[in-house]
């Protein structure tokens, strides 16, 4: 057996030390901290990815009243929102203009038109009890001014003066599910080809027909969001009842109060003399809140950078100023898009679970 001398051991240790010193010099001789390249920062923000489009960050708009703020939508256009006006409560002894607003899906007329007729009748009965200086119009957004509505006396005209009698007014609106490329191209140029004969029955020029959306007004039309609504929510049956309050704002901004409601309701006669006090926005009552979804909605509000005020169980009816309705509709649409894209799994979005998660989520 060969003996290992102490000299050999010391030599091996010395060679090892020299090797490590040499490696240290090579790695650090050109070290300049000002030339260090830091790893890129990766944003963990959720993305909206559309087919054939580059992924972009989905900016949820924020509105802070009463200061002037900007809505940052998912489009490239920056939209300035006027500050909330100073609250001036309306005196019941003064002239008051109100509007009851619904969306009517014309392609489901067999199901919904009987409900509209009952709602129309209750509105007509309510008018008998409202003060002489008050006016309450019945506003309908739909894709067609059919013969049935013309027989009810509905007109396609925006209210011009406070003295006009209460009337049923129907405004033509392109539903989200019909906003295919052939319809939306060239600013909806051919979206209303089916109404070319309408001026003959309404005594209007074709240019006077009130149609929606108004693509030249960024306050009431967001092209990118309209595309996202079509992509993610076109099969949701209630999306248009909210979107019409946003895109149709110019048709009802002259009213002191608006009531956004569903079709399957009756207007009680006491409504003829009732308006919200102190400029409040009133909502209907809903019985859908559970501890689970209340906690989840609070977390979602935080993710969206919304303030959560602790309210829950609100129904689908809104009653307040026209501008309040417009603002709420705008934020509701952003919330609906967020929920549709980030808060439901694919089987839920495709309705494969049915009502399995109801009422928790």
Helix axes 322-342, 223-233, angle to 10 degrees: 50
Instruction: Give the residue extent of every domain in the chain.
Output: 101-349
Query: What Å distances lie between residue 97 and 154, 235, 259, 272, 353, CA to CA?
Result: 18, 34, 11, 11, 45
pLDDT at 189: 87
- CA neighbor of 259 nearest in space, from 287, 283, 285: 283
pTM > 0.95:
no
Please check whether residue 258 is in contact with residue 320, taking contact to mean a CB–CB distance below 8 angstroms. yes
Within 10 angstroms of residue 156's Cβ, the number of other Cβ atoms is 20
Rounded Cα distance between 172 and 209, Å, is: 8
- CA neighbor of 146 nearest in space, from 166, 168, 170: 170
Burial of 345 (0-12, 13-18, 19+ CB in 10 A): exposed
pLDDT at 89: 79
Question: Sign of torsion, CA 224 227 231 232?
Answer: positive
Query: What Å distances lie between residue 185 and 53, 190, 223, CA to CA?
Result: 18, 8, 11
Element (H, E) at 242: helix 239-247
Question: From first to last of its 361 residues, what are the pLDDT tens digits of the chain?
Answer: 456 566 666 566 666 665 665 555 545 444 443 333 333 323 333 333 333 333 333 333 433 333 333 334 344 444 555 566 666 778 888 999 999 999 999 988 989 999 999 999 999 999 999 999 999 999 999 999 899 999 999 999 999 999 999 999 999 999 999 999 999 988 998 898 888 777 667 777 766 889 999 999 999 999 999 999 999 999 998 999 999 999 999 999 999 999 999 999 999 999 999 999 888 999 988 877 889 989 999 999 999 999 999 888 888 899 999 999 999 999 999 999 999 999 988 888 888 888 888 888 8
């Amino acid at each position: 057996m060969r003996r290992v001398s102490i000299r050999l051991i010391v030599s091996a240790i010395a060679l090892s030390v020299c090797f490590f010193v040499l490696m240290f010099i090579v790695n650090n001789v050109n070290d300049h901290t000002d030339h260090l390249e830091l790893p890129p920062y990766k944003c963990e923000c959720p993305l909206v990815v559309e087919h054939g489009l580059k992924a972009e960050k989905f900016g949820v708009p924020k509105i802070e009243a009463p200061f002037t703020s900007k809505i940052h939508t998912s489009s490239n256009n920056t939209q300035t929102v006027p500050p909330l006006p100073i609250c001036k409560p309306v005196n019941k002894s003064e002239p008051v203009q109100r509007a009851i607003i619904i969306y009517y899906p014309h392609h489901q007329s067999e199901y919904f038109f009987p409900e509209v007729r009952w709602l129309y009748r209750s509105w007509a009965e309510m008018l008998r009890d409202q003060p002489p200086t008050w006016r309450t119009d019945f506003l309908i957004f739909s894709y067609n001014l059919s013969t049935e509505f013309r027989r009810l006396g509905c007109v396609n005209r925006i209210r011009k003066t406070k003295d006009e009698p209460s009337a049923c007014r129907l405004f033509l609106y392109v539903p989200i599910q019909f906003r295919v490329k052939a319809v939306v191209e060239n600013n909806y140029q051919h979206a209303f080809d089916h109404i070319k004969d309408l001026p003959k029955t309404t005594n209007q020029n074709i240019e006077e027909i009130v149609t929606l959306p108004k693509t030249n007004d960024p306050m009431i039309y967001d092209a990118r969001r309209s595309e996202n609504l079509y992509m993610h929510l076109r099969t949701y049956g209630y999306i248009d009842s909210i979107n019409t309050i946003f895109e149709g704002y110019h048709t009802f901004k002259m009213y002191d109060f608006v009531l956004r409601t569903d079709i399957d309701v009756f207007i009680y006669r006491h409504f003829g003399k009732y308006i919200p006090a102190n400029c409040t926005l009133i909502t209907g009552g809903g019985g859908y809140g559970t501890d689970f979804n209340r906690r989840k909605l609070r977390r979602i509000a935080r993710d969206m950078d919304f303030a959560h005020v602790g309210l829950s169980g609100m129904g689908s009816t809104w009653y307040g100023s026209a501008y309040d309705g417009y603002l709420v509709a705008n934020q509701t649409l952003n919330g609906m898009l967020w929920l549709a894209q980030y808060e439901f799994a694919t089987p839920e979005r495709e309705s494969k679970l049915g009502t399995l998660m109801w009422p928790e989520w």
